[in-house]
Amino acid sequence: MEIPFLPFVVAINVWMTAMPKHAEGLIGLYGPAYVAEANAIYRGYDLDPYACGLAVMSPSDIGKIVWLRVPEGEWFGPCLAVDISARKDFKANVVDQHKVVEADQRAADALGFKWGVWGESYVGLCPPFPTSQAREYEVWLEPDLIDPTGDKISYLDRYYPLRPQQMPINDCAEYAWLGIQR
């Protein structure tokens, strides 16, 4: 008996859910730095004050500052989220591949990977405090994965105009003594 092909469409409320502030998973290669730069320009962002540009999985995270780290490594960043995973690719990226971000070649060189590496991402102005614990992204995605309506609303319909980019701060150390959650 042949099983019919059933398309899988991630529900908009799942796709729109921001990733965990401190996530663990695959950091994939986004492409050369000029790809991130082109997407930043397209969205009216400026990558000059950042260490890299990257793609995040949810439209909720675009324009935010993201830090990256491989096991036993130092935090790398700040990076700016300049692009997102297409809704049609969300399940493959997040659920099947456990991807948290796709970083440009500058980040890949700094973190020492060619196509991808298991690591952590942190959404915030500064890297997290040492006590912060990473979560797997997919834990947040259990309910409502399939959209039975086949809703075709794009993220631009709900997020236009795009949020302004977050700007990095000069010295994260000056905030640590205050005990401010970064």
CA torsion 57→135→146→94, rounded to 10°?
A: 40
User: 1 lies in a domain?
Assistant: no
Cβ contacts of 144 within 8 Å, gap of 6 or more: 11, 13, 14
Question: Predicted confidence band at 51 (pLDDT cuts at 50, 70, 90)?
Answer: very high
Question: Predicted confidence band at 93 (pLDDT cuts at 50, 70, 90)?
Answer: confident
The CATH number of the domain holding residue 165 is 2.40.40.10
| Size of the chain in residues | 182
User: 15 lies in a domain?
Assistant: no
Number of domains in the chain: 1
Most confident of 18-22, 48-52, 56-60: 48-52
User: 9 lies in a domain?
Assistant: no
Q: What is the pTM of this model?
A: 0.79
Which residues does residue 83 pair with via DSSP β-bridges, in sequence order?
Answer: 55
Range of the domain at 115: 22-138+158-176
**pLDDT(48) > 80:** yes
Joined tokens for residue 116: 């991808």
Spatial contact of 54 and 66, defined as CB atoms under 8 Å apart: yes
pLDDT in tens, 123-137: 999 999 888 888 887
The residue with greater pLDDT, 99 or 168, is 99
CA distance 71 to 48: 27
Share of the chain above pLDDT 70, in %: 75
